[in-house]
Amino acid sequence: MAENTFLDLQTARRSFYALGRNVDYSNAELEEMFKNTIKQTPSAFNSQTVRAVFAFGEQQDALWDMIIERMRQVVGDADAFVKTEEKLNGFKNGYGTVLLYTDTDVVKNLEENVPAYAANFYDWSEQTLGISAYSLWLTAREHNLGGNLQHYNPVIDEDLQAAFDIPASWRLRGQFIFGSIEAEAGDKDFMNDDERFISLNK
């Protein structure tokens, strides 16, 4: 990708749904890349509340097969599930998934130990999660990969916790799916600036 400024990366970041496995990086390289991205994400009081689970290749297949079966039970009607299954298989076709969690024990400890800000710590942990997810998205684009962010939590939480021995204090907040870009994203519309921004410098 020729772009190299932050705004270029922001512009290139889109929700890519047609993802494949034509990826030029090893699993170890991808994991290290994403770990460093999360480690460099700012957090209130340097609380580092974000946790992540990485699933590539066979683990990616197993993860999404599990999600597909859970969602099949949730939807119930086989005919109604056809489109949902097609969508879920599209996520499965990606190279990998980063499961993003918040460690609620850290949040609770901060609420107890810094009572003056107790009402803020959960909100701040959500901000940290959002920054981490966005940073992963930009990192993927920087390396010519595409991605999208999904939220099948909390429906899948217990299944994943049991299958992958996820600590009880980790609360699933999103699933970042990534892979090679097999089809470009559609055009993106923007609302009028006058409806979105207020300038005090007039």
Burial of 165-184, coded b for 16+ CB within 10 Å and e otherwise, reads ebeeebbbbbbbbbbbbbee
Per-residue pLDDT averaged across 61-81, rounded? Answer: 95
- pLDDT tier for residue 35 given thresholds of 50, 70 and 90: very high
pLDDT of the residue at 14:
96
pLDDT of the residue at 202:
77
Q: Identify which has the larger pLDDT, 3 or 23.
A: 23
pLDDT tens, residue by residue, 78-113: 998 999 999 999 999 999 999 999 999 999 999 999
pLDDT tens, residue by residue, 139-187: 999 999 999 999 999 999 999 999 999 999 999 999 999 999 999 998 8
Comparing CA positions, the residue from 88, 91, 97 lying closest to residue 30 is: 97
pLDDT tens, residue by residue, 109-140: 999 999 999 999 999 999 999 999 999 999 99
Please determine, for residue 2, whether its predicted confidence score (pLDDT) is greater than 60.
no
pLDDT of the residue at 128:
98
Report the percent of the chain where pLDDT is more than 90.
94
Residues 6+ apart with CB under 8 A from 98: 34, 52, 53, 54, 55, 136, 175, 176, 178
Mean pLDDT value across the chain: 96
